[in-house]
Structure 1
């Protein structure tokens, strides 16, 4: 008897045997009722049997083994997705779900072996069965990752949004203290330090909110209008100097640097690039803006340790950071979202950002079209 026929004929016996194993394998506190296990087992086994009877040549088998059919529709994926969603809603971990599949695979093959299957045909049937189980496992892992990302991004968004209110209250209190008559020098120093910390926190929260929006599939809000990069650069320098008073940053502007951009977003890009250069570089930081025919270029350069080729590959990925010296770690090091947000802002304006790094200097260059392309 071939394996797919055996599964359908003996499905009740297989499910009963599997349920006994699965109930023991589930994590603590995640016990399932017999009805829950029975419904799951019957649905998965039936989809496996259907998949095994679907014609598949050598080329199809090779493509499946390489993951080239990962997005192709199938009954196995539908059942696996439904199963994963249900288990995750019950509080199961990915390990618990994998344990279920492991028990199901072992139960089917062990029971089928008692019917004495042999020969190359039996071997091929085992391959098809294992392919179906692996496909279901892959879908379960994908669904688990998707659900985990959604929860993580939602929590990040809530956290960033809720942090704005107390931060605003702190900022207002600091501003009031700055206007207290005859404030002693110690108080003046304390308010200046607090104000710098507030500015850093605000940038981190803004980046986190933007990151969350993009991870949840929302586009960053953008309002394009006529802008001049020169004042935007000067404003960015003022903001960065307020947070890093010891940093030496110079500005050079040449040519026509006017265009159609979102001023607030370009300012955010400038500040993030400057902060990145201060935190990860050494010596003076150089900011320049230059106008060309249809584009405007922004560059931020600094000396310091070069960025390795390995680090460059993930430099603009979210939550990735290059090496930061011990004295610059902590709150000043940020979340590692700054360059990711810069990349997104450049792309929003149909531009691009690139980096070149050597033993002498590291330079980030942003190229922006003067006006949005049609």
Structure 2
């Protein structure tokens, strides 16, 4: 009686035909891919499956494999799976399609093998090895597909943010020219002010989108650190944001020696995000303070308003986190989008920390930065130090 691995090797042609026929059905109406196009890595995957099943394996190794642990011999097998995922992404297949075609492959192999032989104890062991191999193929293919799709989305976000800068600059320059013209009608001057403030808000969003795209694509976030005074940065940002945030008062208090070495532009971006969040989701006056704290500089942004739920605080600095999705409250979004994720990226780049606390009385963000760090660039993880 032929083993299952022998059956796969000797019947690979008909098994590939089954696979391609199902892939053609999945792809129907989407593109003009031919049967030849859809065969791509099918022979390599079947050969890798057969080779994987033929490897000697102890009981402990079988358990380790079920837990996702790899052996050195799996490297080629995994690479074949990754190439298949890349092909399917390029061909327009969805993630559910990849799962479906491997499910169909599993069913095809088992159906044809059962029809060609009688099952016994040995065949049961062979089936276990086959299912293990299929699961590994599926796991690696799905992982690679997700990573490549996410990279494509992030690359698109970076390109979009970069290309938005030029037309936004034209809008800002035109609005500034209108506002400075002496004989401009008062209503037109007022409208130019609206344009300037909206353009400033858009510029902050574009900066955030660019940082997000760079860190998610694995690029480094560059820092240009130089001697600065944190008090000056706080007052400057508060003044700029005060012109954008209509009806919001920002109180700035500073104390002690606030000199240090930081990237002024990135710190300003960080503060602008926190002040924008406070204005959008808080109530009343916003308090921005900076003071000495032992060997660090501590910055606080504080406001009253609806508290952030305790269950949302652990993930508030994660990218694309929306608190209203966690709590169900439509009025709560202090942590939505990218702003707080960018704040964490910039803080970590300066080897500092950022925390949030919230109760019925206030919501407070606290940043602690060393006066001088070895800040140079930030790696892609954008994660706080352990």
TM-score, normalised via structure 1 length: 0.91
1:174 to partner: Cα distance: 1.0
Change (3 A) 1:278 1:106: same
Matches within 5 A, 1:1-374: 1-30=2-31, 33-36=34-37, 40-69=41-70, 73-323=74-324, 336-373=337-374
* Greater mean deviation of Cα atoms: 35-44 or 176-185: 35-44
**Cα distance in 2, alignment partners of residues 284 and 244 from structure 1:** 12
Gaps of 5+ in 1: none
1:113 to partner: Cα distance: 0.6
**Cα distance in 1, alignment partners of residues 363 and 118 from structure 2:** 66
* Greater mean deviation of Cα atoms: 90-99 or 187-196: 90-99
Q: Deviations over 1:272-304 (max 9, x none)?
A: 111111112122211111112311111111112
1:188 to partner: Cα distance: 2.5
**Cα distance in 2, alignment partners of residues 158 and 125 from structure 1:** 49
Q: Deviations over 1:100-121 (max 9, x none)?
A: 2222111110011123342333
- Corresponding residue SS for 1:114: helix
1:307 to partner: Cα distance: 1.5
TM-score, normalised via structure 2 length: 0.88
- Corresponding residue SS for 2:308: coil
Change (3 A) 1:292 1:313: closer
Contact kept? 2:228, 2:260, Cα under 8 Å: yes
- Corresponding residue SS for 1:313: helix
**Cα distance in 2, alignment partners of residues 149 and 51 from structure 1:** 29
* Greater mean deviation of Cα atoms: 83-92 or 108-117: 83-92
Change (3 A) 1:56 1:359: farther
1:37 to partner: Cα distance: 5.0
**Cα distance in 1, alignment partners of residues 65 and 373 from structure 2:** 42
**Cα distance in 2, alignment partners of residues 211 and 122 from structure 1:** 51
**Cα distance in 1, alignment partners of residues 89 and 239 from structure 2:** 49
1:240 to partner: Cα distance: 1.0
1:202 to partner: Cα distance: 0.7
Contact kept? 2:323, 2:336, Cα under 8 Å: no
Change (3 A) 1:203 1:16: closer
**Cα distance in 2, alignment partners of residues 259 and 354 from structure 1:** 21
**Cα distance in 2, alignment partners of residues 104 and 326 from structure 1:** 45
- Corresponding residue SS for 2:30: coil
Q: Deviations over 1:184-210 (max 9, x none)?
A: 332222122111111101111111111
**Cα distance in 2, alignment partners of residues 261 and 188 from structure 1:** 37
**Cα distance in 1, alignment partners of residues 45 and 209 from structure 2:** 40
**Cα distance in 2, alignment partners of residues 309 and 232 from structure 1:** 31
Q: Deviations over 1:12-56 (max 9, x none)?
A: 333334444443343423465444455633211111111112222
Question: What number of residue pairs does the alignment pair up?
Answer: 371
- Corresponding residue SS for 1:202: helix
Gaps of 5+ in 2: 376-386
**Cα distance in 2, alignment partners of residues 223 and 72 from structure 1:** 45
**Cα distance in 2, alignment partners of residues 182 and 31 from structure 1:** 62
1:243 to partner: Cα distance: 0.7
